[in-house]
Amino acid sequence: MSREPAMYGALAPWWPLVSDPADYAVEAESLRKILDLPPSGTRRTLLELGSGGGNLASHLKAHFQLTLSDRSASMLEVSRALNPECEHVAGDMRTLRLGRSFDLVLIHDAIMYLVDASEVRAALATAAAHCRPGGSLVLVPDAVRETFEPYTESGGHDGADGRGVRYLEWVSDPDPDDTTFETLYALVLREPDGAARVELDRHVEGLFSRAEWLAWLGEAGFAPRVTVDAWSRHVFVGVRP
């Protein structure tokens, strides 16, 4: 993986003002319906790899017994504050081995930080090592090669503590012939006393085809399928025989 973006390190305490957990309710419900198939009479165990600040988990924890893992200690601290009842484990999705299995494994948009085939294969091997027979893996990349489009977006929130964030997000693909694209963030951070500063943050992310994702899932031992969700994203589901 490339250098950890500042957003997940030094700037992690600002994350809830960049990405409000409340904004994930609809997406979490959409994922819950996928994760719940086939129906189960018990509260299922779910391992989320690359769980970040725990925004999805804040909605999924009502339905699953969650174990949340991320390589960023700073983001895990943010998640612990939001989801104190969940288990948190520090670890890289390429190498994590907990020595136990789960009914479900979820990798949301953190999968985008895997920038070549070897990294993806390593993460899928981690998922397979933690997914019980008959269990499922769900992958939610932001885009696949066939659907990628450059865009610019802005957003941000104000906090009850007087802090505030506004950001500009610029997504582009400087070299269409490689397996990455980049996201640049310009963030204006305002302290409670009104003092403000600007931070620039560069994220390098992986971009692969639908066929590659399906092939890699098969290589990892999953029976794969894919669906397109309400946000036009390809959601890959792999069932472990």
221 against 43, higher pLDDT:
221
- Which residues, listed in sequence order, are joined to residue 151 by a DSSP beta bridge? 171
The pairing of strands 131-139 and 234-239 is antiparallel
Averaged pLDDT, 155-173 = 98
The angle at the Cα of 22, spanning 31 to 81, to the nearest 5 degrees, equals 100
One domain, residues 64 and 110: yes
Instruction: Measure CA 138 to chain center.
Output: 11
Report pLDDT digits (tens) over 193-219.
999 999 999 999 999 999 999 999 999
DSSP secondary structure string for all residues of 25-72: HHHHHHHHHHHTPSP-SS--EEEEET-TT-TTHHHHTTTSEEEEEES-
Number of Cβ atoms within 10 Å of the Cβ of 179 = 18
What is the average pLDDT value for the chain, to the nearest integer?
A: 95
End-to-end distance of the chain based on CA atoms, in angstroms?
30
In the prediction, which pLDDT does 1 show?
42
Averaged pLDDT, 114-141 = 97
Helices 117-130 and 210-219 sit at what angle, rounded to 10 degrees? 50
Asked if the model's pLDDT at residue 98 lies above 60, the reply is yes
One domain, residues 58 and 90: yes
One domain, residues 130 and 155: no
Joined together, the tokens standing for residue 194 give 């009104």
Nearest to 13 by CA among 220, 203, 132, 161: 161
| Structural domain span for residue 227 | 6-144+207-239
DSSP 8-class letter at 158? B
Question: Has residue 1 been placed in a domain?
Answer: no
One domain, residues 132 and 40: yes
**Structural domain total, the chain:** 2
Return the CATH number at 156.
2.20.130
Asked if the model's pLDDT at residue 176 lies above 50, the reply is yes
Give percent of the chain above pLDDT 70: 97
One domain, residues 125 and 229: yes
> 88-97 b/e with 16+ CB inside 10 Å = b?
beebbbbebe
User: In 3-state terms, what secondary structure has residue 233?
Assistant: coil
Joined together, the tokens standing for residue 211 give 């066929």
Number of Cβ atoms within 10 Å of the Cβ of 198 = 8
41 against 17, higher pLDDT:
17
Give percent of the chain above pLDDT 90: 94
Report pLDDT digits (tens) over 138-162.
999 999 999 999 999 999 999 999 9
Q: 43 falls in which pLDDT band (50, 70, 90)?
A: confident
In the prediction, which pLDDT does 41 show?
61
Return the CATH number at 14.
3.40.50.150
80 against 4, higher pLDDT:
80
One domain, residues 28 and 113: yes
What is the model's pTM?
A: 0.95
Nearest to 171 by CA among 149, 193, 145: 149
Averaged pLDDT, 104-127 = 97
Calculate the CA dihedral of residues 175, 177, 181, 184 and round it to 10 degrees.
Answer: 0
Amino acid present at 239? V
One domain, residues 108 and 184: no
